[in-house]
Structure 1
Amino acid sequence: MKTRIYLFTGFLDSGKTTFIQDTLISTDFCEGEKSLLIVSEQGEVEYSQEEIETVNCDIVYVTNEDEWSYEFFEELKKKYNPTQVLIELNGMFNVNRLMACSLPDEWQIVQVLTTINAQTFGLYIQNMRSLLFQHVVHTDLLIFNRINENIKKSFLRNNIKAINSTCQIIYEKEDGTVNTLDDDDLPFDITQDELEIKDIDFGIFCMDALDHPDKYAGKTITLKGKFIGRDKQLEDGFVIGRLAMVCCEEDTSLIGMVCEHPAAKQLIPDEWIQVKGKIDLEYDADIGGEVCILKVEDLKVVPPLENEYVTFD
């Protein structure tokens, strides 16, 4: 039997402790298990040791990330012999260091969960992007909590997906109920048959088209970006795209759309172009669903943008 490790990341006051405590106490997560909780951060909410011990769970506190080592985990294995381990990671600790740490035989990190306070997310994106990147890049499930009517979920989602495109995102309102992205307003009028996408909305459009291709079928789109390269499947296919900064200028993620036009063979990599055409939907076996293909009717070379990076403001 492997000992499953669940790693909880996120900054101070992001709701990690509340989430973990609710999982342990209010669900059947610990039923039939010998659990161990390793805590490396103490915020406003404290664990109720008495309640946690009732579900056959021990608590160990860590004050220094230098303690992460094979010897440390091997000692815990001998002392507690848990079947599952939950680690609440200090928001300022190096996530990569823990992920790279050697573990005892049969111990394995099976899931990384991240909590983020939606009301302070913008500050972290602006001022602590590289540290936020560490939390998000490994996560399997990310929970944005404390969503209110002033917060655009598309801003939250698109910044996260630029870092980690595969993670699942859950949105929680201030009362703890789960919200969805469907009611979030787009910066353009999706009801129109023709859309001229502003440069600042490039990323939002491409992300939404990827998630909801059916909304754009048959619409005429005008879009500006770089010629990234030829598409491997379509004879006249190419990718128009821009880069989103996920950590720093040296660490970026491509966001774009596949287009079709006979002039694809003549385009130069990184050349800035503006395209106008109609969206068709085609099945993509790699993702198991339909994707948007822009059938370009008009293509022209344009001057580069002053700021070439995608933002989701």
Structure 2
Amino acid sequence: MERLPIFVINGFLEAGKTQFMKFTMQQEYFQTDGNTLLIVCEEGEEEYDKDLLESTHTTLKYIDDISDFTKEKMIEFTKEVNPERILIEWNGLWEQDKIQIPDIWYVNQMITIYDTSILDLYIKNKDLKAYMGKMLKDSELVICNRADDIDEEILSTYHLQIKAMAPNAEIIFEGEEGEITGDFSINLPYDLEASKLIIKPEEYGIFYVDAMDRTEKYDGKEVEFVAQVVRPDGIGDDILIPGRRAMTCCEADIQFLGFVCHYKGAKNFKNKDWVKVKGKIKYEMSPQYRAKGPVIYANDILLTGPIDGLVQF
């Protein structure tokens, strides 16, 4: 049997998930002759119209408790509906790793939706931010709606917080009239036009996120920063990964944020060594990133003292 694609829509209650799904289901590009299985894991004020479901060959199923979201139940739905695809409106307070799907399903796309007018509440509440981290981990697209009348500088702050948790996602701010355009790139604490970027310890998190997000802006730049060494087995004699441990959303989600770095003599450094890296950034394909990214060609790496604490956002 051919595997079935799943589209997962994340977000807290009343974030606009149902509204987004209804809009998408009506678009020409999303039409299909086959059946669609729509699984809704929480009921908000917005409801699905019977006419819309019928016209799009969609069967709606509700799951009220995460304990009912089992492989057996999903197989039962599959046999009943015979879908060509599955849409899941996920409960934002259910942990992502609790999603159990049959082997014949696969996650095709994950989208997260937030109400920007109360996004500050989610970010400042450590418990809600932990849920945000789980939603964003594998998201390809993040839509922040209801962003009208919010200052561009505040939107830039939200952009940084989300980008730290979802580095590979596209982030869109929307208002009543559609997408809000503007420069929501991070407000940098250093001068990107300087001949050499000397990154202070407290600036490392912003430097990492922005360099990964807008690598072309850093291509050819001289840089200097302090980081800790990681040298995975088999990485090669002249490569190391200098980086810092960061808490992107909560204590349970501590990640190592490191750059691929080429340096003759890299093999002489050990894991967990603290070093000062001086070199030039090049935007190029890297096997370690499995994509194009910021690769540092160091001209000098010196042992130095440790930096206390984690990178914060």
What range is the shorter-chain TM-score in?
0.7 to 0.9
Cα deviation code 1:120-152 (max 9, x no counterpart): 445434412432333223434333334441211
> What amino acid is the match of 1:142?
V
Partner Cα distance (2:138, 2:115) in 1: 18
Kindly state the Cα deviation for residue 249 of structure 1 after the two structures are TM-superposed: 3.8
**2:141 matches 1:141:** yes
> What amino acid is the match of 2:165?
I
In structure 2, the CA distance between the partners of 1:79 and 1:248, relative to structure 1 (3 Å rule), is: same
Partner Cα distance (2:219, 2:233) in 1: 20
Match of 1:114 among 112, 115, 127: 112
SS of the residue corresponding to residue 186 of structure 1 reads: coil
In structure 2, the CA distance between the partners of 1:7 and 1:119, relative to structure 1 (3 Å rule), is: same
Partner Cα distance (1:212, 1:86) in 2: 32
SS of the residue corresponding to residue 42 of structure 2 reads: coil
> What amino acid is the match of 2:141?
L
Partner Cα distance (2:159, 2:299) in 1: 27
Task: Please tell me whether the aligned partners of residues 243 and 253 of structure 1 are also in contact (alpha carbons under 8 angstroms).
Answer: yes
In structure 2, the CA distance between the partners of 1:239 and 1:12, relative to structure 1 (3 Å rule), is: same
Cα deviation code 1:14-64 (max 9, x no counterpart): 221111110112344233122232212122323223333332223222222
* Number of aligned residue pairs: 303
Kindly state the Cα deviation for residue 182 of structure 1 after the two structures are TM-superposed: 6.6
RMSD: 3.2
SS of the residue corresponding to residue 26 of structure 2 reads: helix
Gaps of 5+ in 2: none
Kindly state the Cα deviation for residue 179 of structure 1 after the two structures are TM-superposed: 4.2
Task: Please tell me whether the aligned partners of residues 38 and 59 of structure 1 are also in contact (alpha carbons under 8 angstroms).
Answer: yes
Q: Structure 2-normalised TM-score?
A: 0.80
List aligned pairs for 1:182-201, cutoff 5 A: 183-201=185-203
Partner Cα distance (1:158, 1:143) in 2: 12
Kindly state the Cα deviation for residue 255 of structure 1 after the two structures are TM-superposed: 1.0
List aligned pairs for 1:116-195, cutoff 5 A: 116-126=114-124, 127-128=126-127, 129-147=129-147, 148=150, 149=152, 150-152=154-156, 154-161=159-166, 165=167, 167-175=168-176, 176-177=178-179, 179=181, 183-195=185-197
1:293 aligned residue: 296
1:202 aligned residue: 204
List aligned pairs for 1:225-264, cutoff 5 A: 225-229=227-231, 235-246=237-248, 248-249=250-251, 251-261=253-263, 264=266
2:278 aligned residue: 276
In structure 2, the CA distance between the partners of 1:122 and 1:202, relative to structure 1 (3 Å rule), is: farther
1:9 aligned residue: 10
In structure 2, the CA distance between the partners of 1:223 and 1:230, relative to structure 1 (3 Å rule), is: farther
SS of the residue corresponding to residue 143 of structure 2 reads: strand
Task: Please tell me whether the aligned partners of residues 237 and 260 of structure 1 are also in contact (alpha carbons under 8 angstroms).
Answer: yes
Task: Please tell me whether the aligned partners of residues 186 and 210 of structure 2 are also in contact (alpha carbons under 8 angstroms).
Answer: no
Cα deviation code 1:237-273 (max 9, x no counterpart): 4322101224654542221223455564544432333
Gaps of 5+ in 1: none
SS of the residue corresponding to residue 30 of structure 2 reads: coil
